[in-house]
Structure 1
Amino acid sequence: MAPMALILTLGFDAPSFARLEPLRQRHFPPARNFIPVHVTLFQQLPSDAIARVLADLAAAAARHAPLPFAATGIVDFGGGAAVALDCPPARALHCDLRDAWRDMLSTSDDRARKLHATVQNKVDRDTARATQAQLRAGFTPWSGVFDALRLWHYRGGPWEDAGTFPFRGDSE
């Protein structure tokens, strides 16, 4: 059996999580909703590099304070909806990790990401459009904080927690 991938996400502060998770529970197809709301940074890190990844994440979390973000709008990505998030310090952290892991990144992971919290995915286009319209109608920009890096094992279905690394540095 081939090794499964590791997935790296950002975790939310409690108020942001309380705002976003109910949207995900309401709109995300239950059969595909394996983990709480998150922001994906990397989706195919090789599981055989877990020791290196864990060490790098521990070091990164020790260097960085929680990362402030702005929720700026609703994203349309065809078969779903997401909340767009702007966070220059998270983009810089992602770039640093890409540089450190370039030798092991897939093509899809070796690129800049538009940060977003997916609240719906893999639904038909009409359902997605209706959700996007509903979310836009009630959307007001707001601010929050990414409080941790979270690593997950992907095993073809539910994700398994592989480590949580709270940001605890003094500055971004």
Structure 2
Amino acid sequence: MADRPLILTALLEESAQEHFDDLRRRHFPSDRNHLAAHLTLFHHLPGDQEPAVDAAVAEATERPPLTARVSAVRLLGRGVAFDLRCPELTGLRRDLAARWEPWLTRQDSGKSDLHVTVQNKVTPAAARSLYDDLSAGFEPYDVPVVGLALWHYLGGPWSEGPRHLFDHS
């Protein structure tokens, strides 16, 4: 797996994860939906640096769990996502980015938003329809962020790597 890029995601509490997974199953084209819903922090970390990456992730989770605010529904053009706000998670990501700066792609260097995509790769009309449905009556709500997970990118699907839960003590 050393030649496969690593992806770092935030782990959401089980009921929040199930909610986003359900939306993704219902609205993401099934022939393109190879993944569970996810909150990606980094898209492409070097697989040959997995021990160092994993050690930094383990260290970053030595803190209490976080709470993210699902703040808005976002139209992506050909899909829909939920925006999340969590200053602590954004700060954690910023600290890891500074540590990993020599390894970061342009996408990961510039990334600052947090979101969970529940639909993508559809027509703009289908995306607009779902956006309108999900936006109607939307009220912001909180979801617990319970840890971080590394994944191995397999050219489409991902395989699970190490998971680290935030310290509850």
Q: TM-score, normalised by structure 2?
A: 0.93
Give CA-to-partner distance per residue, 1:22-79, whole Å, 9 cap, x none: 11111112222222211111001111111111111111112x2111111111011111
Query: In the alignment, does 2:41 pair up with 1:10?
Result: no
**Range moving further from structure 2, 154-163 or 28-37:** 28-37
Structure 2 letter corresponding to 1:71: V
Q: Is the 8 A contact 1:80 1:119 kept in 2?
A: yes
CA RMSD of aligned residues (A): 1.5
Inter-CA distance 36–94: structure 2 relative to 1 (3 Å threshold): same
Write the distance in 2 (CA, Å) between the matches of 1:18 and 1:158. Answer: 19
The 3 A distance-change label for structure 1 pair 111 and 169 is: farther
- The CA deviation at 1:3 is 2.5
Q: Which amino acid aligns with 2:60?
A: A
SS at match of 1:57: helix
After the TM superposition, list the runs of 4 or more consecutive aligned residues in structure 1 that deviate by more than 6 angstroms: none
Tell me which residue corresponds to 2:61: 61
Give % identity: 38
* Paired residue type of 2:122: V
Q: Distance in 2 between matches of 1:103 and 1:41?
A: 16
Distance 1:138 1:38 in 2: 24
Of 33-42 and 93-102, more deviation after overlay is shown by 33-42
Contact 1:61 1:169 in 2 (8 A): no
Q: What is the CA-CA distance between 1:169 and the residue it aligns to? A: 5.6
Greater shift in the superposed pair: 135-144 or 36-45: 135-144
The residue number in structure 2 matching 1:44 is 44
Q: Secondary structure at the match of 1:70?
A: strand
Q: Report what 2:114 is aligned to.
A: 115
* CA distance in 2 between partners of 1:112 and 1:156 (Å): 21
In structure 1, the gaps of 5 or more residues are: none
Map of 1:23 onto structure 2: 23
Separation in 2 of the partners of 1:34 and 1:159?
A: 8
Q: 5+ unaligned residues in a row in structure 2: which ranges? A: none
The 1-side partners of 2:78 and 2:151 are apart by 24
Q: Secondary structure at the match of 1:144?
A: strand
* C-alpha deviation, 1:138, in angstroms: 4.3
Alignment of 1:151-170 (within 5 A): 151-168=150-167
* TM-score of the superposed pair, with normalisation by structure 1: 0.92
What residue identity is the alignment partner of 2:38? H
Cα distance, 1:160 vs structure 2: 0.2
Aligned residue pairs, count? 168
- Secondary structure at the counterpart of residue 30 of structure 1: coil
Partner in structure 2 of residue 99 of structure 1: 98
For 1:78, the equivalent position in structure 2 comes to 77
- Indicate the SS of the match to 1:32: coil
